[in-house]
């Protein structure tokens, strides 16, 4: 029996690879397993290759896992296009369609000898059972059900939900295809069984969702009443869900003609007194940047979700990367501070989105959420959301006395001024992109500009003290350190667990508030560190470079960074930690030798 398994599948667009992954992960969730499913596509608008990887476990999962336990290739050309995303090694069981004509000992896996190879007549099984090749992934589901022990009844129920509305004949064909695969698995058992151990919570279904949907749900929970956006991969699902649901809560969604109009409408809605949001990816963020400057000087709350993908330019629109950090923090004309938050997983996306709305409303500022393609589009089992643990904040409105002689940008002690909205008697003011005095009247005075800049930065003083927005895990005095943010944090959490199991003294820092730095927490964390890694999926290692801007980084800390679509694995992070540990031991031994 195994407690953790990773399955990867690839084929051509239209083969139903992602649908098969959805069926697997849904069945696992209904059975009470913890599950994560990521999906990846080629950049083509139509057709091209598609893949998914599903990780199932009896324990909580932090990431999609490393090398595959089971690899399913409907055709090798498409499978090989995913490279490190579907890594095969010596313990992988490979399943492929014998119609490819490739002998089991001639697989196009250079330098790899899989643990076991199944050349399955997928096409023939599908045709003979379903009468069509289009039910091939139903055969695959039957194979996997038989080999790993996922409930046959639950998977068949999933097929019924999927195909039931499309006609009895289509449903029956896919059920026959499933049974053909299930029977083949029984007749061709694996040499080393991969049957999953049943979870302690068997039969107690788990909530299954993805990062984009849970972000949209959190926006509604936070009181968002306006979304202005433009469709762009991989953030579009946020707009789609809000387009269906926001009307039920008295809000509105507008699909604008372009990215600039989308954020312009969002700023207008915020000026009108509504909690407002927009979403995009890197190329759209480029276009929205100027209007973000307007929201900053007008001190208007809004939340901007950037679901990062590979760049620059159109880049890798269907792959994850963490290379928009500099853009989020620094792509502004003039002196501007914009809070930047980052979720680390699907469940985390709810917390981070609520926090983003609270920060935006409290500080009267744009707040940027940096998600990425993996978190946004991966499906994950999450615990039920306890709404009672959240506090939802509203912007500070002027009192009756403040409206007697209203100064929108009054220099209060905190720097946060009361904000009115149209129709509020006595609350009229000018909100524009030009510098202004306390009343909002335009000014070209250097003294006024200096005073207002100071006010706009001073209001963030308490944000720098938000220790709760930085998570530190492990022994606080450990000499070895990991630092990670976003989706890579899950990889490092698993690496931390493996390191502790091997007796390595390691700790991990994960910032939810990526910018500005909560410097006290960072300094305390770094105090005991002799060596460490900043692990991130960007070629430049952007967080590492930012650390060197704001902190005294110990010389033993180095950047462990790579471009997007080249996923990190917990075992390789662990290997680097071991190297650092050996290096530290060598330094200690050399010091002792000199002292002697």
3-state secondary structure labels for all residues of 528-594: CCCEEEEEECCCCCHHHHHHHHHCCCCCCEEEEECCCCCCCCHHHHHHHHHHHHHHHHHHHHHHHHH
Question: What is the number of residues in the chain?
Answer: 596
Q: Which two tokens stand for residue 126?
A: 């599908």
pLDDT of 44 above 80: no
pLDDT of 201 above 80: no
pLDDT for the residue numbered 594: 57
Instruction: Tell me the torsion sign for CA atoms 67, 71, 26, 148.
Output: negative
Q: Are strands 93-97 and 116-120 parallel, antiparallel or unpaired?
A: parallel
Q: How confident is the model at residue 487 (pLDDT cuts 50, 70, 90)?
A: very high
pLDDT for the residue numbered 595: 57
**Do residues 480 and 560 touch, judged by C-beta distance below 8 A?**
no
Query: What is the per-residue pLDDT across 472-484, written as a single tens digit (0 to 9) for each?
Result: 999 999 999 999 9
| 390 vs 364: CA distance, rounded Å | 20
All domains in the chain, ordered by first residue: 4-205 (3.40.920.10), 210-379 (3.40.50.970), 396-461 (no CATH), 469-595 (3.40.50.920)
What is the arithmetic mean of pLDDT over 507-513? 98
Q: How confident is the model at residue 117 (pLDDT cuts 50, 70, 90)?
A: very high
pLDDT for the residue numbered 202: 74
Cross-strand bridge partners of residue 93: 70, 116
Mean of the per-residue pLDDT values for the chain? 95
Q: How confident is the model at residue 328 (pLDDT cuts 50, 70, 90)?
A: very high
pLDDT of 45 above 70: no
Q: Are strands 70-73 and 93-97 parallel, antiparallel or unpaired?
A: parallel
**Do residues 576 and 535 touch, judged by C-beta distance below 8 A?**
no
| 295 vs 306: CA distance, rounded Å | 17
| 354 vs 347: CA distance, rounded Å | 12
Cross-strand bridge partners of residue 45: none
pLDDT for the residue numbered 161: 87
Q: Which two tokens stand for residue 187?
A: 């007749």
What is the arithmetic mean of pLDDT over 212-235? 98
**Do residues 270 and 276 touch, judged by C-beta distance below 8 A?**
yes
pLDDT for the residue numbered 118: 97
| 561 vs 546: CA distance, rounded Å | 14
Q: What are phi and psi of 412, to 5 degrees?
A: -70, 170
N-to-C CA span, the chain: 53
Residue 443, exposed/middle/buried by CB under 10 A (0-12, 13-18, 19+)? middle
pLDDT for the residue numbered 165: 85
**Do residues 172 and 179 touch, judged by C-beta distance below 8 A?**
no
Query: What is the per-residue pLDDT across 398-412, written as a single tens digit (0 to 9) for each?
Result: 999 999 999 999 999
Instruction: Report the chain's C-alpha Rg in angstroms.
Output: 26
**Do residues 557 and 481 touch, judged by C-beta distance below 8 A?**
yes
Model confidence pTM above 0.85: yes
Query: What is the per-residue pLDDT across 569-592, written as a single tens digit (0 to 9) for each?
Result: 999 999 999 999 998 887 655 555
Return the number of other C-beta atoms located less than 10 Å from residue 40's C-beta: 27
Query: What is the per-residue pLDDT across 233-290, written as a single tens digit (0 to 9) for each?
Result: 999 999 999 999 999 999 999 999 999 999 999 999 999 999 999 999 999 999 999 9
What is the arithmetic mean of pLDDT over 151-172? 90
pLDDT of 596 above 60: no
Q: Are strands 49-57 and 34-41 parallel, antiparallel or unpaired?
A: antiparallel
| 406 vs 421: CA distance, rounded Å | 12
Q: Which residue has the tokens 């001639």?
A: 106
| 238 vs 138: CA distance, rounded Å | 30
| 1 vs 488: CA distance, rounded Å | 29
- How far is residue 207 CA from its own chain's centroid? 17
Q: Which ranges in 459-518 belong to alpha helices (H)?
A: 488-501
| 54 vs 66: CA distance, rounded Å | 11
pLDDT for the residue numbered 587: 66
pLDDT for the residue numbered 186: 96
Of residues 11, 190, 26, 155, the one with CA closest to residue 86 = 11
Q: Which helix (H) or strand (E) holds 41?
A: strand 34-41
Beta carbons within 8 Å of 84's beta carbon, 6+ residues apart: 565, 566, 567
């Amino acid at each position: 029996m195994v407690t953790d398994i990773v399955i990867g599948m690839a084929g051509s667009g239209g083969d139903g690879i992602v649908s098969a992954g959805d069926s697997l992960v849904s069945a696992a969730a209904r059975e009470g397993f913890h599950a994560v499913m990521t999906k990846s596509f080629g950049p083509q608008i139509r057709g091209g290759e598609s893949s998914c990887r599903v990780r199932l476990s009896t324990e909580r999962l932090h990431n999609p896992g490393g090398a595959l336990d089971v690899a399913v290739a409907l055709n090798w050309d498409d499978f090989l296009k995913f490279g490190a995303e579907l890594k095969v090694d010596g313990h992988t069981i490979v399943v492929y369609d014998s119609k490819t004509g490739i002998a089991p000992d001639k697989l196009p896996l250079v330098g790899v000898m899989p643990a076991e190879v199944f050349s399955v007549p997928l096409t023939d099984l599908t045709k003979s059972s379903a009468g069509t090749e289009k039910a091939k992934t139903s055969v695959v589901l039957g194979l996997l059900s038989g080999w790993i022990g996922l409930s046959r009844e639950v998977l068949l129920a999933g097929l019924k939900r999927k195909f039931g509305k499309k006609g009895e004949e289509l449903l029956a064909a896919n059920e026959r295809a499933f049974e053909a695969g299930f029977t083949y698995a029984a007749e061709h058992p694996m040499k080393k069984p991969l049957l999953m151990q049943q979870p302690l919570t068997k039969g107690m279904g788990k909530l299954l969702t993805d990062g984009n949907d849970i972000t949209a749900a959190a926006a509604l929970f936070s009181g968002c009443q306006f979304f202005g956006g433009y469709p762009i991969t991989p953030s579009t699902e946020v707009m789609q869900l809000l387009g269906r649901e926001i009307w039920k809560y008295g809000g509105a969604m507008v699909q604008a003609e372009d990215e600039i109009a989308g954020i312009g409408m969002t700023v207008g809605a915020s000026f009108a007194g509504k909690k407002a949001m927009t979403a995009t990816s890197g190329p759209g963020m480029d276009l929205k940047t100027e209007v973000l400057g307007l929201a900053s000087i007008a001190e208007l709350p809004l939340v901007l979700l950037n679901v990062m993908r590979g760049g620059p330019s159109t880049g890798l629109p269907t792959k994850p990367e963490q290379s928009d950090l500099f853009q989020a923090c620094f792509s502004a004309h003039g002196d501007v501070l914009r809070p930047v938050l980052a979720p680390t997983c699907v469940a985390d996306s709810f917390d981070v989105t609520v926090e983003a709305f609270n920060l935006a409303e409290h500080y009267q500022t744009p707040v940027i959420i940096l998600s990425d393609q993996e978190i946004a589009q991966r499906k994950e089992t999450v615990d039920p959301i306890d709404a009672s643990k959240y506090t939802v904040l509203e912007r500070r409105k002027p009192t009756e006395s403040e409206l007697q002689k209203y100064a929108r940008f009054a220099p209060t002690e905190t720097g946060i001024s009361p904000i009115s909205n149209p129709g509020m008697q006595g609350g009229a003011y000018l909100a524009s992109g030009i510098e202004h005095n306390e009343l909002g009247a335009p000014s070209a005075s250097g003294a006024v500009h200096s005073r207002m800049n100071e006010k706009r930065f001073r209001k963030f003083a308490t944000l720098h003290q938000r220790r709760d927005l930085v998570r530190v895990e492990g022994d606080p005095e450990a000499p070895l350190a990991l630092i990670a943010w976003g989706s890579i944090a899950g990889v490092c959490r698993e690496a931390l667990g493996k390191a502790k199991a091997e007796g390595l003294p390691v700790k991990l820092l994960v910032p939810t508030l990526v910018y500005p730095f909560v410097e006290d927490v960072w300094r305390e964390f770094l105090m005991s560190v002799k060596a460490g890694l900043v692990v991130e999926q960007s070629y430049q290692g952007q967080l590492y470079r930012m650390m060197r801007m704001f902190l005294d980084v110990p010389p033993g800390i180095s950047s462990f960074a790579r471009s997007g679509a080249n996923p990190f694995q917990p075992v390789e992070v662990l290997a680097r930690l071991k190297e650092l540990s050996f290096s530290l031991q060598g330094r200690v031994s050399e010091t002792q030798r000199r002292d002697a």
